Structure 1
Amino acid sequence: MIREGGCLCGAVRFKVEGEPINVRICHCRNCQKAMGSPFFARAAFDQRALTIEGETARFPTSERIDRVFCTRCGTRLFSWRRDGSVAGVALAAFDDRHAFAPTEHIWVSEKMGWVKFDDALPQYPEGIPS
C-alpha cells in the first residue's frame, strides 16, 4: 500500500510504502515544543519506505532526532532518527488524515494537564517498556 501526503503549501510531497511500524501519540516536551502542539500524533516507518519531493530543512531536537519541515510554509512533517532507521510521519500531513489511528499514548508523564483521555488506549509514562 502506498499513501501520500504533504505540507500546507504543497511545496513538499511525500509517499510512504507499506504499513507503519507503530502509530503513537507522543506527549513528551520535545514533541510539544517541536510541533507547537500538546502532542505529536505520528506513524513510524522505515526511512527507506519514505520518498520526499520538495525542499525540507532539519532541526536537531535531541541527540537522536531531527525534526523535518517545509522550508516554504514551515509545516512540521517528520521526526527523523539520525541513525537512518525510522521516520515519524505526522498523521495530519497524510492526504487521507484518517489513514492511521493511534494505538497508544507515550510520555504521558509530560502531557499537558488539561489533556484528558477518553480513547481507552494504553498509556505509558515514558516510552514503551522493553
Structure 2
Amino acid sequence: MPLSLSRHGQCLCGAVQFDCRIATPEVSACHCRTCRRWGGGPLLAVECAEPPLISGGDALAVHASSDWAERGFCRHCGTHLFYRLKAEPHYAIPVGLLDGEDWLLDSEIFIEEQPAWYCFAHSRRRLTGAEALAEHDR
C-alpha cells in the first residue's frame, strides 16, 4: 500500500478547517438517495486513512442520517464536510473540499439507486448498496 497523502480542506466560509490523511487519491461516487438529497447529486469523496483533525468549534454540526452513519456540515455556510460510520473510524470527505488536483474516479456505489439522467464515462468498479455495505460488515 502506498504511503498516505496529507490533505488540507475547509468549508466555504473557512470556519471549519481540517487536515486528513488519505491512503490513495481514489475518489468514489455514491449514488444513494440520501447522498443525492444531501448534495443535489452523487457524493464524490475520498476515504481517510484515519479520522481527520477538525477545527471549528461550534461551527461544526453533525446530523445522524441513518442508524449507522452521520454527516458533518458547517452551521454557518452549510458546506458538507464528511460522512462517517458510527461503528468504525471511517470518514469520507467530499473531494472538492480538499487541496490537490491529483484525483482519480475509481469506483461507484449504490449503483442500483443511480437515476437514468446521468452517468460517468469510463469503466470502473461498480457496487450495489448491499455489496458496498458488506465491505464494512453492515
Q: State TM-score, norm by structure 2.
A: 0.81
Q: Which runs of 4+ in 1 moved over 6 A?
A: none
The share of aligned pairs that are identical, in percent, is 25
1:23 aligns with 2:27: yes
Question: 1:32-73, CA deviations, whole angstroms, 9 ceiling, x for partnerless residues?
Answer: 1122x220011111443x101112101111111111001110
**Counterparts of 2:108 and 2:22 in 1: how far apart (Å)?**
23
Aligned with residue 52 of structure 1, among 44, 54, 60: 54
Which residue is 1:34 aligned to? 38
- The 3-state SS of whatever aligns with 1:117 is coil
Which residue is 2:124 aligned to? 121
Give 1:5-24 correspondences, 5 Å limit: 5-20=9-24, 23-24=27-28
Question: Which blocks of at least 5 consecutive residues in structure 1 are unaligned?
Answer: none
RMSD (CA atoms) = 2.0
Question: Which blocks of at least 5 consecutive residues in structure 2 are unaligned?
Answer: none
Which residue is 2:103 aligned to? 100
| Contact preservation (8 Å) 1:47, 1:85 | yes
Number of residue pairs matched?
A: 127
- The 3-state SS of whatever aligns with 2:87 is coil
| Contact preservation (8 Å) 1:57, 1:69 | yes
